[in-house]
């Protein structure tokens, strides 16, 4: 891949897309393009096709999606399945129709069955029922994975999918109405600390196990995939290490300096009991995560403190 090759990063202002942009820039790539959602609505098929045909990128990295935690998924199932399918279908098909050489589709570990064996291997896809709290988003992402696989199988093009575990880091969403568990905890513990170490109430039992990956590591995985020829169509990207939600809460509590009590609301759903990724395929090719969880949380909390004045104050 030439460092002057035109690369379009869809969703370049989001957490993942902006991290990919930084990683590519650091490696000397000089012809990156991106466009904001106000300038290009990725749900609009005609607009997306026109943009790709006009810009003619060599590579498209799809980091654009409607995302959110359990609450957001439960409250907006139609938007989560329909808008994500519109976004990815428009990007994948316009890329194919315009002759884009390489397409990197970014998904989520929620594509795997709720009760699949652990750790999750790529071949477990479509072998069982999904977790009900986010099946709408998962089904959309599965469709994207299969679309890329179909193009690869039928036309031999380098279209493939990277499935990250739970991501966190700079530029994350800290809005308590729509955020994922880790940034939501950072905000809750910080605000409770500022409120005389008030009690923090968290959803569920704290027993489910989750794996987390610092977003800069994910960006490096994308760069690795860009610069290497991957033999398969689907790869897991993660740390290969998990912990309980209770352990995560205690880690964030320590990093933020909160000294109050934690209450677990067992009336709220836990979600999937465990989601640990088998990342042996990517590791075997030469990519491996570098940032340990506690270090990543410390960096993320510092970013939160540095940007708190700009963040949505909704709680």
The active-site residue out of 8, 51, 112, 137 is 137
Residue by residue, DSSP assigns 23-35 as HHHHTT---EE--
Question: Is 166 labeled as ligand-binding?
Answer: yes
Cβ atoms of residues 42 and 64 within 8 Å: yes
CA dihedral 315, 168, 166, 33 (to 10 degrees): 110
Element (H, E) at 168: strand 166-168
Question: Is 59 labeled as ligand-binding?
Answer: no
Question: Is 71 labeled as ligand-binding?
Answer: no
Question: Is 42 labeled as ligand-binding?
Answer: no
Question: Is 41 labeled as ligand-binding?
Answer: no
Q: Is 155 a catalytic residue?
A: no
Question: Is 102 labeled as ligand-binding?
Answer: no
Question: Is 299 labeled as ligand-binding?
Answer: no
Question: Is 14 labeled as ligand-binding?
Answer: yes
Question: Is 15 labeled as ligand-binding?
Answer: yes
Q: What is the rounded CA–CA span in Å between residue 192 and residue 201?
A: 10
DSSP lists the bridge partners of residue 168 as 214
Question: Is 205 labeled as ligand-binding?
Answer: no
Where would I find the H helices in the chain?
15-26, 45-55, 70-75, 77-97, 135-155, 181-194, 215-227, 245-256, 280-285, 293-307
Residue set of the binding site = 11-17, 106-109, 141, 164-167, 180, 188, 203, 210, 270
Give the annotated binding-site residues for NADP(+): 11-17, 106-109, 141, 164-167, 180
Q: Give the residue numbers marked as catalytic.
A: 137
Which residues are part of a known binding site for substrate?
Answer: 188, 203, 210, 270
């Amino acid at each position: 891949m030439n460092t002057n090759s035109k690369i379009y990063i869809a969703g370049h202002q989001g957490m993942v897309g902006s991290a990919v942009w930084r990683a590519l820039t650091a490696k000397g790539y000089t012809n990156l393009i991106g466009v904001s959602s106000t300038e290009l609505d990725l749900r609009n098929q005609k607009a997306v096709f026109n943009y790709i045909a006009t810009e003619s990128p060599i590579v498209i990295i799809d980091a654009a999606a409607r995302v959110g935690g359990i609450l957001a998924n439960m409250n907006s199932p139609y938007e989560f399945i329909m808008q994500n399918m519109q976004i990815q279908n428009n990007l994948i098909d316009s890329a194919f129709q315009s002759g884009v050489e390489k397409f990197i589709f970014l998904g989520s570990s929620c594509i795997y069955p709720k009760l699949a064996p652990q750790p999750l291997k790529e071949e477990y896809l479509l072998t069982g029922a999904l977790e009900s709290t986010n099946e709408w988003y998962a089904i959309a992402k599965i469709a994207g994975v299969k679309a890329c696989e179909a193009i690869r199988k039928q036309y031999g093009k380098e279209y493939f999918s990277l499935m990250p575990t739970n991501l966190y880091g700079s530029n994350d969403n800290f809005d308590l109405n729509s955020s994922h568990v880790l940034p939501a905890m950072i905000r809750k513990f910080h605000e409770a600390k500022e409120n005389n170490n008030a009690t923090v109430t968290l959803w569920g039992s704290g027993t489910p196990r989750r794996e987390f990956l610092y977003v800069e590591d994910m960006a490096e995985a994308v760069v690795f995939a860009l610069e290497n020829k991957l033999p398969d169509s689907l790869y897991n990207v993660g740390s290969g290490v998990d912990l309980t939600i209770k352990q995560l809460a205690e880690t964030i509590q320590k990093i933020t300096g909160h000294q109050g009590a934690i209450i677990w609301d067992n009336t709220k759903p836990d979600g999937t009991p465990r989601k640990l990724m088998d990342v042996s395929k990517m590791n075997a090719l030469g990519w491996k995560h570098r940032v340990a969880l506690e270090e990543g949380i410390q960096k993320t909390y510092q970013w939160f403190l540095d940007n708190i004045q700009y963040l949505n104050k909704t709680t």
